[in-house]
Amino acid sequence: MTAPLEFTDAARERAVEILSRYPAEYKKSAVVPLLHLAQEEWGYISPEAMACVAGLIDCSPVKVAEIATFYPMFNKEPVGENVLAVCHTLPCALTGCAGIFDHLSERLGIGLGETTEDGRFTLRKSECLAACDRGPVLLVNRRLHTHLTPDKVDEIIDGLEEG
Amino acid sequence: MAAALEILTADPTAGADPGDIDAYIAGGGYGAVRKALKSMSQAELIEEINASGIKGRGGAGFSTGMKWNLCADRYPRYLCANADESEPGSFKDRLLLETKPHQIVEGMIITCYALGINLGYIYIRGEFFQIIDQMEAALEDARKHGFLGADILDTGFDLELYVHPGAGAYICGEETGLIESLEGNRPYPRLKPPYFPAAIGLWGQPTIVNNVETMAQIATIVDMGAEAYKEIGSEEDTTGPRLFGLCGHVKNPGIYEYDSGVTLRELIYDAAGGIRDDNRLKGVIPGGISAPILTPEEIDTPMGFGALGKLGSMGGTGGIIVMDETTSMVDALLNASSFAAHESCGQCTPCREGVPWMNDILRRIQNGKGREEDLDLLLDICKQIHGHTVCVFGQAPGVWPVRTILVKYWPEFRACIERKELVVLPVDESYLRPDQYEHIPPLPGNFRLKAEEADAAG
Amino acid sequence: MATITIDDRQYTVEEGRNLIDAAADLGIDIPHFCYHPGLAPDGNCRMCLTEMEIRPGQFGIVTSCTIRIKDGMNFRFNSPAVLDNRKGIMEFLLINHPLDCPWCDQAGECKLQDHSFDHGRGHSRFVETKRVPPKKDLGPHITLYTTRCILCQRCTRFCDEITGTSELGVVQMGSKSEIATFEGVPLDNKMSANVADICPVGALVTKDFLYKPRIWHYEKVNTLCPGCATGCNTTLEVLHQKIYRTRPRHNEAVNGHWMCDEGRFCYHDWQDADRLQSPLKRVDGELRQVTWPDAMDAAVSGIRSVLDGEGDSAMGVVGSSMATNEENYLLSKLGKEAFGSSTTGLNRKPDGEAWTSKSGFRIAADKAPNSRGAGDMLGADSLDDILRGIGDGTIRGLYVLGGDIGQTLPPEVAEAFGKLDFLVVHDVRLSDLADLADVVFPGAIPFEKNGTMTNAQGRVQRLNPAFPQAGGAREDGAILGYVGQRMGIEMGGTDPAEILEEISGRVEGYGGLTYDLVGDQGVMKGGEEPSEAAGG
């Protein structure tokens, strides 16, 4: 049996609050928000993290793995400090997202799904982020950047590198 | 030119932070909640929504009043507001969530009151980080102001609303997929029958799943009164204001508010300023990626659900993707197909296997390795998926774009196969004329080449 | 009952039954993959789509597995829409499926093969690259050939609905979806191997039946599991007098569609046991191999000397929970008529662990298959009377049926039996019971027996032999018959069917029972209905 990770006290408090949003007999409903919490804590969803969540919602750990591996937002492996997701769905494709992706890839020296050697950046593609009037768009961690140009992308990366 | 409206796009906080509840209340906010809870009975409210003629804004265009009336007479009942906006080309819900969190909350409170619901969730897609934070704060503020919690406005009505985040899966926008996701299961859509949410929904109980725009509109209906509301638009095409989002190759992409009578041409050329670089229009997807494409000859249609349905397309989410003459329709379809292949949940055979297969074939065609028989094979795979899946996903983003883009832009696909490379034909040569293909009702997207064209095309 | 229409013909079927089962009752096969009658319908494979009249004159596609029969329903099973869909589903399921049928363990009993033959298109239009996910070791008994999986989810539903252990899940999304266990939590429950039975393709296979002879070579024998008092109905697959596989046989009143892993694989222990090769006789304190006539003479003369010396009641009989009703009946008859003894006993095995699955499938604490029936035949369900008799000296000799490879004698029983003047034993190996005997007859194991057994519920069921008795063994009934004959009594025939008829006239609760009536689904003794179905 995979040994579960333990949440910090602060995260545990949040987990309790999340669980309180659902009727006590339907704890499993909290699985997605709890996985988000786990990802905030540990950066990605390891089997140990899944076991932790399974313990909180009283279910078989494979049922958490079913969820954690289904949703694209949950990282199955460690990722860089900054996760960059370039939307590549049709409206952004029409506004030139391919060039944005290529620019990022060249600047960072990594391909799709890869992480820079220094662990600073992971480069991904995302499906439509519902900001089609502002394309091309890029999700940097929790923040959406819009109307991208290569220059603007450089500014974003410069800022992150300095930060 | 139809007149632009400023109802849903009005600024209720007069320039203040959209999440500022005091500014919202100062501008008349939560008036609809007060009106509904203090002066209307549940039955009166339901009648008001029925009378308004509103059709849901999630994409299917189903009557909201009828949905409410179908709610089984069992309790507890639950509400799920669907803010999992993920249909490519759709971004109206994002706008509302960013600018009107409290109006959405108002609509949810009114809906719950009308239907005797004491617990509801707003399912917001996970990538909307800032929106989720803002909505959490809005709910907390509403609670502090006595619009949520126990004995709301001294009416004896109790209600709790919570945000439930998604995690990046399109299928959660399908109402039963959303419910499964909310239950903590893989978001596999349920079989209908018997799992119509209004009968057997969240945790087995009657559940209303409404789009967040619909929620915002509920507040508008109560504010304006059904009589005034239904003056906007028409019963057939839906009453009330519509939010149309224009994106792609238009000069001024954005959200534009009109009634359903506005034509596609007006939206593209007047509202959004026309095509970028004054290029020629090649095709337009009128309501999110699933909505069957329209050629330049078909854009004088009004944007109502009924009117677009007559063309074999659909109103969908009102997200309009405009493509100019530089666009390769093979690229465009491959992009749509890649989306569908990526987002198919994998539950049922035809969608899980057929949709990625079509994606493989289209990629081959794009790479100049298309075979003579591939176009017919694609249409045949469409036929094998259509109507055979658990949910509408297999056909909506899965089949309809393939069937319609392929049929209508048949010459461009043929050219790619014949010349063994990606070819962008001049606009006039790229698409068939409406007398060369036909739509087989009742579902949208069910297009086929007319026999003579099939012959001519070899 | 309900009247329904299928392709313009009217049929009467059970109301409320799902359409696949109702059609099967009529002998009409609706092809399907994900539906299994022991599991809740899921509707994911889409193979069972048929057309149903939704509004007058208007037909729509429905999943047969979820449709519950109501009077007046009207279906089309063979319309172009239905047939086209099946062809489409077959094509979809096969595009990523390997064509490794020649070495697939499911070959010959594969639904994909069968339906491909009936509904497939004969050639592939798929020229893209197939997915090739690696195979996975899921647990002690089961391997997943991931490439062959069609994601019908029967296995995950089994672990959720039947065992409630939920070790299996579907991970990843869309076309990348795979069946998986969680790291460190293998598929290891008391019923795990059932997932291989219900897997409609060759994806889940038992390690036990990997790379074995092709399934069409086997003789199939319907019999009972000897592993516990539940009496699961089974089918053995036998080739060259060897069992290769045990699978549960559907009996809603007993085991449903399932059996436990311990029972399923117990045939190895029996089949591989170190069996007695000939009768044994104690000579100068040691058991020596002797001929049948020699052993028979020794038994009869030993019995006679006890009876002659100590009187009629000095010879007792002890039956066996491993033996059939007919064998125990013959023993009881031998005791009464040849020994004039009414002291009987049953040498029961100490109870093991009882277990009930989430769905209600039961593994009995009693690890012998026929304690109830043996008790009925002997009028005894313990050794109490026998031990008392030995203790007070009234019993000086015993005729004991053994036959359990796993059983050891408790010390007090061994001690008591050691005091006897004469002990005759039937056994299958040199057990510690046999070790005490003066004469040992090599008997049959349950897989060699013909007869009936009565399970814990009181259901009388048929046991059929997979192969003849190994080595020098004989049918226990025949041995008993011969001993009786030598003792000068009329034992009647030794054909179990005839003995059951005799039992039906003499043993309470068995009245009216015949082999035919017992059939292959068994029948409750005394016509009692089971208090609750055990099948789950």
Q: Are B167 and A18 in contact (CB under 8 A)?
A: no
Domain C101-110+125-271, architecture per CATH: 2-Layer Sandwich (3.30)
B10, part of any domain: no
Distance from the Cα of A65 to chain B's closest Cα (Å) equals 10
pLDDT in tens, B394-416: 999 999 999 999 999 999 999 99
CATH for B396: 1.20.1440.230
DSSP, collapsed to helix, strand or coil, labels residue C79 as coil
CATH for B249: 3.10.20.600
pLDDT at position C533 over 90? no
pLDDT at residue number C117: 86
How many whole angstroms from its chain centre is CA C137? Answer: 26
Of B126, B285, B332, the CB nearest to A36: B126
> What is d(CA B168, CA B81) in angstroms, rounded to the nearest whole number?
17
Touching subunits of B (3+ CB pairs, under 8 Å) are: A, C
> What is d(CA A36, CA A33) in angstroms, rounded to the nearest whole number?
5
Which residues have a Cβ under 8 Å from the Cβ of C70 and sit 6 or more positions away?
Answer: C2, C15, C16
Q: Are C436 and C412 in contact (CB under 8 A)?
A: no
Chain C residue closest to A71 (CA)? C173
Which residues have a Cβ under 8 Å from the Cβ of C267 and sit 6 or more positions away?
Answer: C236, C243, C246, C447
Of A2, A60, A72, the CB nearest to C167: A60
> What is d(CA A82, CA C179) in angstroms, rounded to the nearest whole number?
32
Q: Are B209 and B183 in contact (CB under 8 A)?
A: no
Within the 89-108 window of chain C, which residues sit less than 8 Å (CB to CB) from chain B?
89, 91-93, 95-96
B3, part of any domain: no
Of A35, A71, A89, the CB nearest to B169: A71
Instruction: Determine contact: B192 vs chain C, CB below 8 A.
Output: no
A76, part of any domain: no
Helices (DSSP H) in B157-270: which residue ranges? 175-182, 212-224, 226-229, 264-265
Share of chain B above pLDDT 90, in %: 92
A38, part of any domain: yes
Sign for the CA dihedral angle at B316, B318, B323, B327 comes to: negative
Of B89, B186, B289, the CB nearest to A66: B186
Which residues have a Cβ under 8 Å from the Cβ of C522 and sit 6 or more positions away?
Answer: C231, C233, C251, C253, C254, C455, C459, C460, C461, C462
Mean pLDDT of C518-525: 95
> What is d(CA B53, CA C18) in angstroms, rounded to the nearest whole number?
39
Chain A residue closest to B133 (CA)? A142
> What is d(CA C162, CA C158) in angstroms, rounded to the nearest whole number?
5
pLDDT at position B457 over 70? no
Could you tell me which of A148, A125, A140, A133 has the C-alpha nearest to residue A91? A133
Residue C410 identity (one-letter amino acid): P
pLDDT at position B20 over 90? yes
Q: Are B151 and B74 in contact (CB under 8 A)?
A: no
> What is d(CA C363, CA B42) in angstroms, rounded to the nearest whole number?
55
**What separation in angstroms does the CA of C309 have from each of A147, B283, C393, C398, C422?**
112, 111, 13, 14, 12
pLDDT band at residue C527, thresholds of 50, 70 and 90? confident
Distance from the Cα of B379 to chain C's closest Cα (Å) equals 12
> What is d(CA C447, CA C334) in angstroms, rounded to the nearest whole number?
24
Chain C contact set for B341 (CB, 8 A): 174-175
Dihedral pair phi/psi, residue A21, rounded to 5°: -80, -10
Of A62, A71, A72, the CB nearest to C182: A62
CATH number for the domain whose boundaries are C2-78:
3.10.20.740
Q: Are residues B202 and B252 in the same domain?
A: no
> What is d(CA B282, CA A140) in angstroms, rounded to the nearest whole number?
33
A2, part of any domain: no
Chain C contact set for A63 (CB, 8 A): 166, 169
> What is d(CA C64, CA C31) in angstroms, rounded to the nearest whole number?
10
pLDDT at residue number C486: 94
- C180 is written with which tokens? 């998986």
Cross-chain residue pair B353–C66, CB shorter than 8 Å: no
Distance from the Cα of C67 to chain B's closest Cα (Å) equals 9
DSSP state of B271: I
Q: Are C186 and C138 in contact (CB under 8 A)?
A: yes
B7, part of any domain: no
| Per-residue model confidence as pLDDT tens for chain A (163 residues) | 688 999 999 999 999 999 999 999 999 999 999 999 999 999 999 999 999 999 999 999 999 999 999 999 999 999 999 999 999 999 999 999 999 999 999 999 999 999 999 999 999 999 999 999 999 999 999 999 999 999 999 999 999 988 7
Q: Are residues A26 and A87 in the same domain?
A: no
Q: Are residues A97 and A140 in the same domain?
A: yes
> What is d(CA C187, CA C195) in angstroms, rounded to the nearest whole number?
10
Residue spans of beta strands (DSSP E) within chain A: 82-87, 121-126, 138-140, 143-145
Cross-chain residue pair B254–A133, CB shorter than 8 Å: yes
Q: Are residues B303 and B361 in the same domain?
A: no
Of A2, A63, A72, the CB nearest to C183: A2
C-alpha radius of gyration, chain C, whole number: 27
Dihedral pair phi/psi, residue B422, rounded to 5°: -70, 125
Q: Are residues A107 and A38 in the same domain?
A: no
Chain B contact set for A30 (CB, 8 A): 184
> What is d(CA A142, CA C70) in angstroms, rounded to the nearest whole number?
53
Instruction: Determine contact: B434 vs chain A, CB below 8 A.
Output: no
Within the 268-307 window of chain B, which residues sit less than 8 Å (CB to CB) from chain A?
285, 289
Q: What is the CB-side half-sphere exposure of residue B211 using CA atoms within 13 A?
A: 27
Cross-chain residue pair A60–C165, CB shorter than 8 Å: yes
Chain A residue closest to B246 (CA)? A133
Q: 3-state DSSP: chain B helix, strand, coil percent, rounded to 5?
A: 45, 15, 40
Which one of B196, B231, B266 terminates a domain? B231
pLDDT at position B382 over 90? yes
Helices (DSSP H) in C191-291: which residue ranges? 194-198, 261-265, 267-271
Taking the C-alpha atoms of C417, C418, C421 and C424 in order, what is their torsion angle to the nearest 10 degrees? 50
> What is d(CA A74, CA A91) in angstroms, rounded to the nearest whole number?
25
> What is d(CA B197, CA B79) in angstroms, rounded to the nearest whole number?
10
Q: Are residues B354 and B444 in the same domain?
A: yes
Chain C: residues touching A (Cβ < 8 Å): 165-173, 180-185
Distance from the Cα of B371 to chain A's closest Cα (Å) equals 25
Instruction: Determine contact: B357 vs chain C, CB below 8 A.
Output: yes
A87, part of any domain: yes
Q: Are residues A95 and A141 in the same domain?
A: yes
CATH for A127: 3.40.30.10
pLDDT at residue number C534: 47
Average pLDDT of the residues of chain C = 94
Dihedral pair phi/psi, residue B182, rounded to 5°: -65, -25
Range of the domain at B290: 238-324
Distance from the Cα of B86 to chain A's closest Cα (Å) equals 6
Peptide bond into C134 cis (omega under 30): no
Cross-chain residue pair B350–C92, CB shorter than 8 Å: yes
H or E element, residue C363:
strand C362-363
Q: Are residues B205 and B59 in the same domain?
A: yes
> What is d(CA B434, CA C21) in angstroms, rounded to the nearest whole number?
48
- C305 is written with which tokens? 């000397």
**What separation in angstroms does the CA of C464 have from each of C62, C235, C270, C321, C522?**
43, 10, 15, 16, 13
Q: Are C389 and C318 in contact (CB under 8 A)?
A: no
Q: How many domains does chain A have?
A: 2
Distance from the Cα of C41 to chain B's closest Cα (Å) equals 10
Q: Are C357 and C386 in contact (CB under 8 A)?
A: no
Mean pLDDT of B12-21: 91
Q: Are residues B187 and B278 in the same domain?
A: no
Q: Are residues B307 and B360 in the same domain?
A: no
Residue of B9, B75, B85, B91 to mutate when probing chain A, most A C-beta within 10 A: B91
> What is d(CA C61, CA C54) in angstroms, rounded to the nearest whole number?
9
B246, part of any domain: yes
Cross-chain residue pair C128–B357, CB shorter than 8 Å: yes
pLDDT at position B178 over 90? yes
Cross-chain residue pair A130–B90, CB shorter than 8 Å: yes
pLDDT in tens, A54-73: 999 999 999 999 999 999 99
Of C43, C46, C173, the CB nearest to B346: C173
pLDDT in tens, C411-451: 999 999 999 999 999 999 999 999 999 999 999 999 999 99
Distance from the Cα of A120 to chain C's closest Cα (Å) equals 26
Cross-chain residue pair C93–B349, CB shorter than 8 Å: yes
Distance from the Cα of C137 to chain B's closest Cα (Å) equals 23
A77, part of any domain: no
Name which of A50-54, C7-11, C212-216, C490-494 the model is least confident about: C490-494
DSSP state of B205: S
Residue of B90, B124, B127 to mutate when probing chain A, most A C-beta within 10 A: B127
Counting one residue from chain A and one from chain C, the pairs whose CB atoms sit within 8 A come to: 46
Which one of B195, B216, B231 terminates a domain? B231
Domain ranges of chain C: 2-78, 101-110+125-271, 280-527
CATH topology of domain C280-527: Rossmann fold (3.40.50)
Cross-chain residue pair C43–B385, CB shorter than 8 Å: no
Instruction: Determine contact: B87 vs chain A, CB below 8 A.
Output: yes
Range of the domain at A27: 9-68
Q: Are residues B333 and B319 in the same domain?
A: no
Chain A contact set for C166 (CB, 8 A): 59-60, 62-63
pLDDT in tens, C40-72: 999 999 999 999 999 999 999 999 999 999 999
> What is d(CA B368, CA B412) in angstroms, rounded to the nearest whole number?
13
DSSP state of C251: B
Cross-chain residue pair C183–A59, CB shorter than 8 Å: no
Instruction: Determine contact: B346 vs chain C, CB below 8 A.
Output: yes
Which residues have a Cβ under 8 Å from the Cβ of C364 and sit 6 or more positions away?
Answer: C228, C229, C230, C354, C456
Q: Are C534 and C254 in contact (CB under 8 A)?
A: yes
pLDDT in tens, C271-311: 999 999 999 999 999 999 999 999 999 999 999 999 998 77
pLDDT at residue number B452: 60
B309, part of any domain: yes
pLDDT at residue number B453: 55
Q: Are residues B142 and B82 in the same domain?
A: yes
Helices (DSSP H) in C336-426: which residue ranges? 371-378, 384-391, 411-418
Chain A residue closest to B248 (CA)? A91
pLDDT band at residue B458, thresholds of 50, 70 and 90? very low
B12, part of any domain: no
Cross-chain residue pair B89–A90, CB shorter than 8 Å: yes
Q: Are C309 and C396 in contact (CB under 8 A)?
A: yes
Q: Are residues B79 and B165 in the same domain?
A: yes
pLDDT in tens, B95-110: 999 999 999 999 999 9
pLDDT at position C327 over 50? yes
Helices (DSSP H) in B320-437: which residue ranges? 329-343, 349, 355-366, 374-385, 400-408, 410-419, 427-430
Residue of A32, A60, A127 to mutate when probing chain C, most C C-beta within 10 A: A60
